[in-house]
Amino acid sequence: METSEIRRRFLQYFEDRGHTVVPSAPLPSPDPNLLFNVAGMAQFVPYFVGQQTPPYARATSVQKCVRTLDIEEVGKTTRHGTFFQMNGNFSFGDYFKEDAVKFAWELVTKPQNEGGYGFDESVLYASVYYEDDEAIDIWKRVAGLPDDRIVRLGMKDNFWSMGIPGPCGPCSEILIDRGSEFGADRDWEAGDRYLEFWNLVFMQNIRGEGGGKDGYEILGELPKKNIDTGLGLERVAYLLQGVDNMYEIDEIYPVIEKASELSGRKYGAEHEDDVRFRVVADHVRSALMLIGDGVTPGNEQGGYVLRRLLRRAIRSMRLLGYEDPSLVELLPVSLEQMKKSYPELVTDFGRISQVAYAEEEAFRRTLTAGTTIFDVAVRDTKASGAHQLEGAKAFQLHDTYGFPIDLTVEMAAEQGLNVDTEGFRSLMKEQRERAKADARAKKAGHADTSGYRELREKGVTEFTGYQELSSDSEVRGLLREGAVAPFAEQGETVEVVLEKTPFYAESGGQIADEGLILGDGLKLKVLDVQRPVKGLIVHKVEIVEGVLRPGANVQAAVDHEWRVSACQAHSGTHVVHAALRQVLGPNALQSGSYNKPGYLRLDFAWSSALDAATRSEIEEVANLAVRKDLPVSAQYMTLPEARDWGALALFGETYDEQVRVVEIGGPWSRELCGGTHVKHSSQVGAVTVTGESSVGAGVRRIEAFVGMEALHYLGRERALVRLLSENLKARPEELPAKVADLAERLRVAEKELERMRAAQVLEAAAELAKDPKDVFGVQYVGHRAPDGVNGGDLRKLALDVRGRMPNDKPVVVAVLSVNDGKPGVVIALNDLAREWRLKAGDLVRIAAEKLGGRGGGKDDVAQGGGTDAAGAGDALSAVEHAIGHQVTG
């Protein structure tokens, strides 16, 4: 049975039994403590914890998930995968244990020709929480399982919680006995013979504080009992398809077959190659799904994970012996398998492939640079007599050049070295903690959302900002450092929740409104507005006057000029996005945006820089749309209706069933958007593109001013042109030629100055060669040249001095100069000096160390530099001392 059919049957089965089919949430997680969704129940957490009232009593979904903790184990075992799918059925205070068991057992054991999975009942077991006698009784009655096929397990195995105080409960798993070849009889710990594939969580309790899987207290029962189940789609697929592991199922194995064909290596012949094949297949599929959900390669958070996956796949293909670009061959194969369940991948494949192929091209370039850094690190390590590459160096290779740690370990082993992996992991941990702290600060300001949840229980904040800029309201509550507070006084900065508000909370790329909240003897300046919990709008305010208390009647007023300019910028973003797609084509899809009054920037999928003519064309299309005075409207509809209508969604955003579609000029621009907008495109005002740049592989960024800011920008440009015209005595249209002529004349003059400076430097060679210092028989010249001599001229001087000295004695020439504040040094030796076991490379490293840098080269000529010009004198003395030590030692 194909994986897509297993998926379809699951959703159909539960839809037929009154469950609402809910689309998968995007892979990027809205939780500041997570990068990606890792469980099927992720998008239903607000319902389980009571933050929101569920719109349905029963739901079912197939959630896309990415697990990042085990990336380095992928391929080494048959169980670890990065991307996976979790089938789930959920009850919010509706049915409970008996129906959950009945539904699961029926679907699992029902014959395939009747719409079930057709598992043989005789090899199925159930595990239960050891105190849950109710569940045991249900399994006996509903499934007819005897006592010896019901396993009681402890809290660590069969009791579920979110890891924090809140809902929890016992669980029950369906296991299959795969036979004696997979392990000993009734060995529940190994996990290979008795394989769990469906977990039923009976969410009935409330847990307290505590750590681990069993180190907390059960405080009582929930007022409403819920069901949360998870059936691992890939696990069921390999059980039903008769293969041994997830890598060999229909959605993954074709990539292995293609990789085998490309590399000429056979899957199943050698363990090391098998690991590489599995890494390739898993990571290519994971990258396809991540890019499909709007993640782009980068150096932080989700982008960092994606980049790592792509580069591990590329490197694994190279280790399999395939040196050519591989993603162009493998990604379409993965698409062919995944499109059966995710048809949207087909329409978006142009953008997905563009991002992936650009990352491969970039990595192929950095492999060369990274390998050079690696070679230098290996040489320095060996020179110091050590046998272990520093963790900091491994981290640099990983962080700067994208080298996976296993690549560094493998390359080091080829050189006979170990790697300080503990030091590397420590640095990685520090980086992850910084990233998590940044994410928490950006998303909520506080990791603990209990204060927000407490105020959310008083009701949803009504947003009135689409209709008005001023609203009479009531203070529902206030928070100080994330905790609910009874009052706040003048001079404090606190967070305020109102019954209703016209203030727009930052989202969708649009920053928050500014303005005032006024009351009787009360004046609050609004500094920021956020939605830390769905349904709750929180204002960060400075109390300018008065004492703030819950229950106060206030008037919330948005700054009118601020909102007008913000609307211009947000509508301008939509206009520029539509212009991009008109000029470049449908693959130029937005992958992120930011707009504030008068300014916008938009990130979009594109692999190459836009030339001046293309930027001008985009700007012209945008301004023509503004001039046409296109109507701007917003409509509400279901998410499927919006997609059918052609509305574009922002990648990575989670949308409700009812979404808001903003339309500019009919089908020319239709996007899902909750932001504030102008009424007609002419109100955007002028659109002036100010720049375009790269922000990562396959992603470009365009920036623009709109409205009055655009006019101010053009005014500054006009003033600059006028000033240049006056100074250069040329008309504006003559300026390009005039400036080009001046630049060429300057280049010629600088070249002549450089020639004269080099000649002046070389004139000193004869005098220096006449007066060497005798250092235990070695003729040593240590000379600091005038400042400003570049490395090339310094090298010429050293060689010229060496060439002028007699060859009947060993000669060492060391010349040094400081150029642009950075010292450089060149050392040259003659043949006789090398016969005396002196090496220019060794001596230049000694000199460079005094300069706060490093150096290297051949035995006869070497070059180095540093950052500490004050060490110049010490560097030349250190070389002289080293010569004496070497000769006399």
- pLDDT on residue 32: 67
What number of helices (H) and strands (E) belong to the chain? 25, 33
CATH number at residue 100: 3.30.930.10
Over its C-alpha atoms, the chain yields an Rg (Å, rounded) of: 34
Strands (E), 506-650: 515-519, 522-533, 536-545, 553-558, 590-596, 599-605, 632-638
Residue 744 in any domain: the answer is no
CA–chain centroid gap for 77, Å, is 26
Give yes or no for residue 119 having a pLDDT over 50. yes
Give yes or no for residue 434 having a pLDDT over 70. no
Q: Is 184 helix (H, G, I), strand (E, B) or coil?
A: coil
Give the tens place of pLDDT for each residue, 342-365. Answer: 998 998 898 899 889 988 988 887
Least confident residue range of 129-143, 348-362, 434-448: 434-448
Q: What residues have CB less than 8 Å from 205, skipping those under 6 apart?
A: 167, 168, 169, 218, 219, 220, 221, 222
Average pLDDT over residues 637-653: 78
Residue 745 in any domain: the answer is no
Is 643 found in the same domain as 711? yes
Is 297 found in the same domain as 197? no
Give the tens place of pLDDT for each residue, 512-552. Answer: 999 999 999 999 999 999 998 888 999 999 999 999 999 99
- Considering 698, 716, 734, which residue would you say is the last residue of a domain? 716
Distance between CA atoms of residues 841 and 843, nearest Å: 6
Distance between CA atoms of residues 757 and 789, nearest Å: 8
Other CB atoms within 10 Å distance of the CB of residue 466:
13
Is 154 found in the same domain as 10? yes
- Considering 716, 731, 756, which residue would you say is the last residue of a domain? 716
Average pLDDT over residues 827-832: 95
SS3 for 703-764 is: EEEEHHHHHHHHHHHHHHHHHHHHHHCCCHHHHHHHHHHHHHHHHHHHHHHHHHHHHHHHHH
448 pLDDT band, cuts 50/70/90, is low
Give yes or no for residue 221 having a pLDDT over 90. no
Tell me the pairing of strands 83-92 and 20-21: unpaired
- pLDDT on residue 707: 93
Distance between CA atoms of residues 555 and 566, nearest Å: 21
Of the chain, the percentage scoring pLDDT greater than 70 comes to: 95
Compute the half-sphere exposure of residue 114: CA atoms within 13 Å on the CB side of its CA: 8
**757: alpha, beta or left? (left if phi > 0; alpha if psi -120 to 50):** alpha
Token match 């042109």: residue?
721
Residue 739 in any domain: the answer is no
Give yes or no for residue 231 having a pLDDT over 80. yes
Task: Cite the annotated binding site by residue number.
Answer: 570, 574, 673, 677
Residue 394 in any domain: the answer is yes
Is 567 found in the same domain as 554? no
Is 548 found in the same domain as 513? yes
- pLDDT on residue 442: 45
Average pLDDT over residues 816-831: 92
Strands (E), 470-549: 470-480, 483-485, 493-498, 500-501, 515-519, 522-533, 536-545
Mean pLDDT estimate for the chain: 89
Residue with the bigger pLDDT between 463 and 586: it is 463
Least confident residue range of 292-296, 567-571, 667-671, 821-825: 292-296
Give yes or no for residue 446 having a pLDDT over 50. no
CATH number at residue 499: 2.40.30.130
Is 39 found in the same domain as 163? yes
- pLDDT on residue 437: 56
Residue 802 in any domain: the answer is yes
Distance between CA atoms of residues 211 and 401, nearest Å: 37
Strands (E), 356-411: 388-389
- Considering 700, 716, 732, which residue would you say is the last residue of a domain? 716
- Degrees, nearest 5: CA angle 430-432-433: 65
Residue with the bigger pLDDT between 634 and 431: it is 634
Asked whether the beta carbons of 33 and 263 are under 8 A apart, the reply is: no
Residue 729 in any domain: the answer is no
CATH number at residue 862: 3.10.310.40
- pLDDT on residue 655: 67
Give yes or no for residue 443 having a pLDDT over 70. no
Distance between CA atoms of residues 496 and 556, nearest Å: 11
Give the residue among 216, 279, 260, 235 at the shortest CA–CA distance from 76.
279
Is 43 found in the same domain as 98? yes
Distance between CA atoms of residues 418 and 409, nearest Å: 7
Residue 538 in any domain: the answer is yes
694 pLDDT band, cuts 50/70/90, is confident
Is 551 found in the same domain as 514? yes
- pLDDT on residue 678: 95
Average pLDDT over residues 185-196: 79
Other CB atoms within 10 Å distance of the CB of residue 373:
16
CATH number at residue 599: 3.30.980.10
For residue 474, the enclosing domain spans: 450-558
Is 691 found in the same domain as 704? yes
Of the chain, the percentage scoring pLDDT greater than 90 comes to: 57
Token match 């060149």: residue?
826
Average pLDDT over residues 125-147: 93
Amino acid at 97: K
Task: Cite the annotated binding site for Zn(2+) by residue number.
Answer: 570, 574, 673, 677
Is 188 found in the same domain as 63? yes
- pLDDT on residue 276: 92
Instruction: Give the C-alpha distances (Å, rounded to integers) separating 410 from 406, 414, 446, 717.
Output: 6, 6, 41, 55
Give yes or no for residue 440 having a pLDDT over 90. no
Is 48 found in the same domain as 33? yes
Asked whether the beta carbons of 468 and 502 are under 8 A apart, the reply is: yes
- pLDDT on residue 445: 43
Q: What residues have CB less than 8 Å from 504, skipping those under 6 apart?
A: 463, 465, 510, 512, 513, 529, 558, 563, 566, 675, 676
Is 372 found in the same domain as 312? yes
Domains in the chain: how many in total?
Answer: 5
- Degrees, nearest 5: CA angle 570-572-577: 100
Tell me the pairing of strands 687-696 and 669-672: unpaired
- pLDDT on residue 358: 87
Residue 378 in any domain: the answer is yes
